[in-house]
Structure 1
Amino acid sequence: MDGARSTYILFFVGLLPFIMAIGNSMFIPLLPQMQVDMGLTSVEGGWLLTSFSIPASLLVPLGGIFSDRYGRKRIALISLPLIIIGCIISAFAGMMGSVAGAFELMMFGRVLQGVGAGSLTPLAMAFITDLFEGERRNRALGTVEVFNGAGKVISPIVGGVILSFSWYFSFVFYLAISLFAFIGIMFFIRTKKTPSKEVEKNIEKWRRLIDLFHTHWRWLIPIFTFGLFGMFLLFGYLFYFSYLLEMSGDFSSLINGLLLAVPLLMLTVLSFVTARKLKGNENNYKRAFIYGGLIMTSGSVMMVVQPELHLFVLSMAIYGVGFGIVLPAANAALASIISVKERGTVFSFYSMLRFLGVALGPLCFGYWISNVEQMMFTALFFVTCTMVVLLFSWKCFPLGKECHVTDLSRI
């Protein structure tokens, strides 16, 4: 594969997690004006987000399973038009204003967008694992994390810019990005044809998945644990941070948005740098988990000890650095231990856990915020548990020495 074509592939595959990220976050700053223009209650406004996130989370595992059976490219070329159709329906509903049926039509369009986005979520890492090998695969997986992080960072900013014109354009923007990804994947990504048209029996697939877990559980458990709780805490901290900024009233909305972007920016940058430095062997993967996990723990400890606003920014940045080191190692290790037939299914489950962390973090922190001190100690407990999982799972730790193993199954 030549360099120019691999760059195009990385760009268009990277748009898939970007599309998922902006599908919800971009609409957060738009909700108040949407509620006014459409005559909605705050509960109905919340449903405009929930109607996207629920089908998206439910469709994540199915997208991976279907991509294993019918092909990644085919599922992508089905899912992206669903988002496009959903955007057209939602934009039309928005132009209807507060007339009867507009809200229900908007909900239907958002559900279609969620179905399409959820099916796309596990495809990016599976595409990269299929199309790249060795260190190029590790770098490509890091680039995907950059697109994912970039989507989270710029989504509220994009929403704010669109709001200065009209929130209807949010659906036009979302449609344009999805259409662009559709054209790119159609023309630039070539996947190998399945040699046999015989459909594999489900029992055989589940038997292989059970064997995979039995063989590699010492890697799978840490990867899934860090993916779930890492995202859970990151977005829980962001929720609380936004509350602190709003309560302080010291900064403008633009500065608040930039401060909220700091930990996500650090995560994105460190994911990119780590992927470039990460060599394809087990000892390096382990070191990234250990160092990144310790940095995440340090950031959480600082939030307990120094809860002031200016130090909270630093603490979140430190947490983002640590998590940014862990994610590329988790992606690379997961790609190394699963075969082609299981990639879509396993990556979809991993993506679902990460998405659940994103969804549950703000919800749980919202319940815990009445007792901030207890909330911070609870968060520290969760991040500490992820480190305990490493101690439980691995027999050898490459700190000041090398663990002499030949593959990821012997740890």
Structure 2
Amino acid sequence: MDTNEEANKGSIWVYIAIATIPLVLVLGNSMLVPILPDMQEKMGISRFQSSLVITLFSISAGLIIPVSGYLSDRFTRKAVIIPSLIVYGAAGVLAVFAAVWNSYPILITARAIQGLGAAGTAPIAMALVGDLYKGGQASKALGLIEASNGTGKVVSPIIGSLLALITWYAPFFAFPIFCVLSLLAVIFLIKEPPREQKADPLRIYLGQIRDILRQKGRWLIPAFFAGSITLFILFGVLFYLSQILEEEPYRIEGVRKGFVLAIPLLGMVITSYTTGAKIKQNGTLMRWLMNIGLTLMTVALAFAIFLNSNLYVFIGLLTLSGIGTGLLLPCLNTLITGSVERDQRGMITSLYNSLRFIGVAFGPPLFGWLMSISHKTIFTTVSSMALLMLILVFFCIKPSGDMPEKS
């Protein structure tokens, strides 16, 4: 075994360094969710315009992620992650100035550039985990990535709310700081194993990806869309909650609102980490957990159509949906990451993450539009989508026994 690989497997600091990458990424959206109503008021923009602060970030990331995936296969994972964190942090500085200048055009431009940087962070970290770890260690590390992603979602509304006590745009100052910390962790703590060979030239490489999708597309493509729809629902619900909590009859604002937003996400994060630690390469267990998770999401979101007058019950249902998400995503991550050889792993995981970002991108604006119709319309729509994903996953994704490991 390579010395670098041995060092990575034996160090808790490597886990921490890997976990900072998705943490930085998720802060890019979730930390801004609590301040969107304030942004609308202070900048004189509409609800739709404020949702674009989330959407443009996610769309630009989603479009560039496959390019980052190819580059990480062609060169190394760190050669993509490090410049991406630098771009992400630098654009964060521009976003700070845009907020201070009260310039909406500069702000959304900065957010789009941040998305370009985000494309080379967490999606490539997922491929890096597949390079560093095998078997049970890989599923545990992937569960850690999803848990770190979820932890970011839990703490970021609280951090965003706390920073907003200083001034509404204070959360923008946090991005560059977090990027610098993650950058240092990646540079000094992660020793990437040597690459035996680079990815083939682009034409041959794309042909290999096409062959993989032909061979495994029957379950890979449903897995991609299940991850996308799940993130669409999650961020849409967060946007919806952030808007309604400040209205009658709730009138919950500031840090209190941040804590309420964090409750469903806490259920997701605990479940994600536990799931990642338990599934190892057990395909039968993964299939059970994916279907149970989507069933919980479907039932909880369906009950939310009618049970929204009591805030405690409503948040409880959304937490149950979050637990379902925590059962589903680590299983999808493990299946997708382990499905291909190392030289194509960056592109396959990037296609998956690209669709996840697109799901995040369309959540806030579509939920904003659905809010103009009715609460029942929102939750009828998302519970139907969760049911459709349950049917698709049940019939198309059927791992069994111990999954083979890919090097």
TM-score band (shorter)? 0.7 to 0.9
Partner residue of 1:318 out of 317, 320, 333? 320
1:202 aligns with: 202
Distance 1:346 1:131 in 2: 17
1:256-275 to 2 correspondences below 5 Å: 256-275=257-276
User: 1:338: how far off?
Assistant: 1.4
Greater mean alpha carbon deviation, residues 44-53 or residues 245-254: 44-53
1:226 aligns with: 226
Distance 1:19 1:267 in 2: 18
Going from structure 1 to structure 2, the CA distance change for 1:218 and 1:309 (only over 3 Å counts) comes to: farther
Going from structure 1 to structure 2, the CA distance change for 1:24 and 1:387 (only over 3 Å counts) comes to: closer
- Structure 1 length-normalised TM: 0.86
Aligned amino acid, residue 8 of structure 1: W
Going from structure 1 to structure 2, the CA distance change for 1:258 and 1:188 (only over 3 Å counts) comes to: same
Greater mean alpha carbon deviation, residues 288-297 or residues 159-168: 159-168
Going from structure 1 to structure 2, the CA distance change for 1:294 and 1:104 (only over 3 Å counts) comes to: closer
Going from structure 1 to structure 2, the CA distance change for 1:290 and 1:111 (only over 3 Å counts) comes to: closer
Distance 2:287 2:170 in 1: 45
Going from structure 1 to structure 2, the CA distance change for 1:157 and 1:325 (only over 3 Å counts) comes to: same
- CA RMSD, aligned part only? 2.9
2:3 aligns with: none
Unaligned runs of 5+ in 2: 1-5
Contact 2:291 2:394 in 1 (8 A): no
The answer to whether 1:375 aligns with 2:378 is yes
Distance 2:374 2:363 in 1: 16
The answer to whether 1:345 aligns with 2:347 is yes
User: 1:126: how far off?
Assistant: 0.9
Partner residue of 1:26 out of 22, 26, 31? 31
Identity of aligned residues (%): 29
User: 1:88: how far off?
Assistant: 3.4
Would you say how many aligned residue pairs link Structure 1 and Structure 2? 397
Aligned amino acid, residue 301 of structure 1: A
Distance 2:323 2:256 in 1: 21
Contact 2:82 2:187 in 1 (8 A): yes
1:72 aligns with: 77
User: 1:293: how far off?
Assistant: 1.7
The answer to whether 1:10 aligns with 2:12 is no
User: 1:166: how far off?
Assistant: 4.1
Greater mean alpha carbon deviation, residues 342-351 or residues 302-311: 302-311
User: 1:23: how far off?
Assistant: 1.5
Q: Secondary structure at the match of 1:304?
A: coil
User: 1:392: how far off?
Assistant: 3.0
Going from structure 1 to structure 2, the CA distance change for 1:202 and 1:322 (only over 3 Å counts) comes to: same
1:211 aligns with: 211
Contact 1:85 1:112 in 2 (8 A): no
Distance 1:166 1:245 in 2: 20
Aligned amino acid, residue 122 of structure 2: T
User: 1:350: how far off?
Assistant: 0.9
Going from structure 1 to structure 2, the CA distance change for 1:186 and 1:406 (only over 3 Å counts) comes to: closer
1:300 aligns with: 301
The answer to whether 1:328 aligns with 2:333 is no
Distance 1:252 1:13 in 2: 35
Deviations 1:222-265 (A, max 9, x none): 32132011112222233333444333333532333322221111
Deviations 1:75-99 (A, max 9, x none): 111111112322333444555x36x
Going from structure 1 to structure 2, the CA distance change for 1:299 and 1:36 (only over 3 Å counts) comes to: closer
Distance 1:51 1:196 in 2: 36
Q: Secondary structure at the match of 2:166?
A: coil
1:179 aligns with: 180
Distance 1:3 1:65 in 2: 24
1:137 aligns with: 138
Distance 1:34 1:290 in 2: 39
User: 1:35: how far off?
Assistant: 7.2
Distance 1:217 1:15 in 2: 31
Contact 1:86 1:112 in 2 (8 A): yes
Decide which structure has the larger Cα Rg and report it.
1
Going from structure 1 to structure 2, the CA distance change for 1:194 and 1:157 (only over 3 Å counts) comes to: same
Deviations 1:17-55 (A, max 9, x none): 111211233234445666787x66458766655553342
1:283 aligns with: 284
Distance 1:57 1:152 in 2: 19
Greater mean alpha carbon deviation, residues 217-226 or residues 349-358: 217-226
User: 1:267: how far off?
Assistant: 0.7
User: 1:274: how far off?
Assistant: 1.1
Going from structure 1 to structure 2, the CA distance change for 1:249 and 1:205 (only over 3 Å counts) comes to: same
User: 1:67: how far off?
Assistant: 0.9
Deviations 1:251-303 (A, max 9, x none): 53233332222111111110011112213121111111122122222212222
Aligned amino acid, residue 65 of structure 1: Y
Contact 1:221 1:393 in 2 (8 A): no
Distance 1:404 1:343 in 2: 22
Distance 1:148 1:270 in 2: 12
Deviations 1:162-193 (A, max 9, x none): 22234565444221211111111111212233
Going from structure 1 to structure 2, the CA distance change for 1:332 and 1:91 (only over 3 Å counts) comes to: same
Q: Secondary structure at the match of 1:194?
A: coil
Deviations 1:5-27 (A, max 9, x none): 53212212211111121123323
User: 1:124: how far off?
Assistant: 1.6
- Structure 2 length-normalised TM: 0.87
1:363 aligns with: 365
Going from structure 1 to structure 2, the CA distance change for 1:309 and 1:171 (only over 3 Å counts) comes to: same
Deviations 1:136-157 (A, max 9, x none): 1111111111111111222222
Q: Secondary structure at the match of 2:220?
A: helix
Contact 1:121 1:348 in 2 (8 A): no
Going from structure 1 to structure 2, the CA distance change for 1:127 and 1:306 (only over 3 Å counts) comes to: same
Greater mean alpha carbon deviation, residues 363-372 or residues 312-321: 363-372
Going from structure 1 to structure 2, the CA distance change for 1:365 and 1:45 (only over 3 Å counts) comes to: closer
Unaligned runs of 5+ in 1: 398-402
